[in-house]
Structure 1
Amino acid sequence: MDCNEARPLLDANADHELPAPDAQRVQQHIERCDACQRESENLHTLSESLRAAPYHRAPASLRARIVAGLPGTDDAIAMTTQVPAGAAVKPPPLQRRWLAWIDSWLNGWRGPQGGFGGLGAAVGSNRLIAQGWLAALVVWLCAVAAGVTLSLHRPVEFAPFADELVESHVRAQVSGRDIDVISTDKHTVKPWFNGRLDYSPPVEDLAASGFALEGGRLDYLAHQRVAVLVYHYRKHVIDVYVFPEAGTGGTGRSTDGAAPATLAREGYSISHWNAEGMTWWAITDAAPDALSGLEAALKARLQGGERTEGG
């Protein structure tokens, strides 16, 4: 262990909070490092000073102000302030837990080893600091609640596949190998997939609709090889991933009713649909309208029976 590893552990070591193996390694380093030894001694001195420091009970007015700001405690406060002297009143369980936490914090609760947990005693009597800590706690709880809410509204099962789709598209563009076979004439792209896949993807050139077929490539998505058709729309590239609807593992689960038909992710537009027994996923940096137009043109070509295998 060197200084970079030992320094972050010196505080916990001074309070005897490290597991035995880590504590032994830190102690061995301290014995042969003068700088870390001095730092450790300073921490031990500070810890002992804190243990010896007197406790100052926070005034009742501070406790009442903090409790008054907690949710759902108004009734309990009213009960505890209006009942006759000597009457025993217990707040509800949730409120009792809040009150116990406030009492222990304001009165300088010590950790099991009496370490820096006692620092709460020094700040317990300062109302401004106490209010600041309470405000920070409320902000943190609100942030956690917001994060949970966003997670619940996010299609969790679909998210990993969408991430993989974006990574595949970006990887192809950055590498400069977004096309394995160039569409130079009719019957070029579709035959190229023969023997490279266990299925035959439909291939259509939609240049008449503004989507020129530039070529195709193989990619690996959701633990399987898939065909990718590369179209150009104005100055944008559209990657269209094609694979059978059934028996597609993770991608098959992503094409059920729970997956949105269109969405935006990391600045990219993504769309999916089913046609000719295949599932089609399209991604581009163009506006979502481009994918809607490509989908309509492709479906019209397939349903119209004007198949031109290749490009």
Structure 2
Amino acid sequence: MTACQDKSILLQGLVDAELDAVNAAAFETHLKTCNGCHGEYLRMLALREAVTAPSITYRAPERLRANIEAMLSASDSPNLADARPTRARVSAWNVGGAGGLLAAGLGIMLVLPQVADNGLERQLVASHVRSLLANHLTDVATADQHVVRPWFNGKVDVAPPVPQLADQGFPLVGGRLDYIDGRVAPAIVYKRRLHTVNLFAWPADERLFNGSKTVRRDGYTVVEWTAGGLRYAAVSDIDPNDLKLFKAAFEAHSPDPSH
């Protein structure tokens, strides 16, 4: 028996202790009556315990650092492109040992930003779902943009623009405080017919992300972009093209940060 497809986010959230008390208690009640979800919950707990067991950890040898530094120093040589592998260089790397570890280390360095973003996008989707399930969509419920933005002042580090987008098919519902990427962040809530769009904002770190991207996760779309020193993330279950229209409308009707 498999787990309920519509419970995957809640199941992961419970395993990772990301659910609030209300949703955690509700889902634990569901586990008592659903063998599929209960079995998957136990499997995920066992997997997490297995991959964090001390017995599978590996400490790289001390010589690895020296070997990497030696290779980096060698790379500064102007004749590196014409150089031929030497016995000394091959033996220093011990080919199958330190060389393999270096390749694995470089691979991890390349993958880490993507893994971090995947974790952030999981947070964004989980926060979107929680706002719907816990009946906590807004802290300030109003369609008046001149009320929502001032409400954020003093409560969060940034007060993002709150344009009125009803004429573009995205009426404003209100705003609330949420918790994203280790900080309290504003969430501006819009509607698209019967669907909800949560727009999160926090100070941008251009070293980690600068530009825009669209990601699909667990049936939800996340559209992310940076503008005016802020990083935005719009999350919804509407058609991805509609969410891109929302981004375009938001940008077109937000004040120019340079003025």
TM-score (norm 2): 0.52
2:236 pairs with 1:284: yes
**For 1:143-182, what aligned pairs fall within 5 Å after superposition?**
155-182=114-141
Deviation at 1:173? 0.7
Cα distance change on mapping 1:183 and 1:244 into 2, 3 Å: same
Q: Is the 8 A contact 1:255 1:279 kept in 2?
A: no
- Spell out the pairing of 1:193-272 with structure 2 (5 A cutoff): 193-245=152-204, 252=205, 256=209, 261-272=213-224
Distance 1:194 1:156 in 2: 32
The separation in 1 between residues aligned to 2:169 and 2:119, in whole angstroms, is 31
Q: Distance in 2 between matches of 1:211 and 1:201?
A: 17
Deviation of 1:254 (Å): 9.0
Measure how far apart 1:193 and its partner are: 0.7
1:155–1:260 Cα change, 3 Å? farther
The match for 1:51 is none
SS at match of 2:156: coil
Q: Assess, with a 3 A threshold, how the Cα gap between structure 1 residues 255 and 231 changes in structure 2: closer, same or farther.
A: farther
* Aligned position for 1:105: none
Contact 2:195 2:238 in 1 (8 A): yes
Identify the residue that residue 189 of structure 1 maps to in structure 2. 148
- Structure 2 stretches lacking a partner, 5+ long: 1-110
If you compute each CA radius of gyration, which structure gives the higher value, 1 or 2?
1
- Deviation of 1:304 after TM superposition, in Å, equals 7.0
Q: 1:62-82 deviations in whole A, cap 9, x for unaligned?
A: xxxxxxxxxxxxxxxxxxxxx
Counterpart of 1:165, as a letter, is L
Q: Distance in 2 between matches of 1:262 and 1:184?
A: 27
Output the CA distance in 2 between the equivalents of 1:254 and 1:159: 17
Correspondence 1:33-52 to 2 at 5 A: none
For 1:304 and 1:256, how far apart are their aligned partners in 2?
A: 21
Query: Residue 274 of structure 1 aligns to a residue in which SS?
Result: strand
Aligned length: 150
Residue 268 of structure 1, CA deviation: 0.2
For residue 276 of structure 1, report the CA deviation from its aligned partner.
2.3
> Contact between 2:143 and 2:171, CA under 8 Å: does it hold in 1?
no
Over 3 Å counting, the alpha-carbon distance change for 1:178 and 1:255 in structure 2 is farther
CA displacement, residues 260-308 of structure 1 (integer Å, 9 cap, x when unaligned):
7001000001111112221110100111111110111111112679x9x
1:127-146 counterparts in 2 under 5 A?
none
How far residue 238 of structure 1 moved from its aligned partner, in angstroms, is: 0.4
Report the CA distance between 1:201 and its aligned residue.
1.6
Partner SS state of residue 235, structure 2 = strand
Q: Unpaired segments of 5 or more residues in structure 1?
A: 1-151, 246-251
User: Do the aligned partners of residues 300 and 184 (structure 1) sit closer, same or farther apart at CA in structure 2, a change above 3 Å counting?
Assistant: closer
* 1:176 counterpart SS class: coil
Distance (whole Å) between structure 1 residues aligned to residue 207 and residue 214 of structure 2: 13
Q: Distance in 1 between matches of 2:253 and 2:144?
A: 18
Query: Could you tell me how far apart the structure 2 residues matched to 1:198 and 1:176 are?
Result: 25
Q: C-alpha root-mean-square deviation of aligned residues, in Å?
A: 2.9
d(CA) in 1 for partners of 2:208 and 2:200?
Answer: 13
Q: Residues 206 and 212 of structure 1 are in contact (CA less than 8 Å); yes or no, is this contact kept in structure 2? A: yes
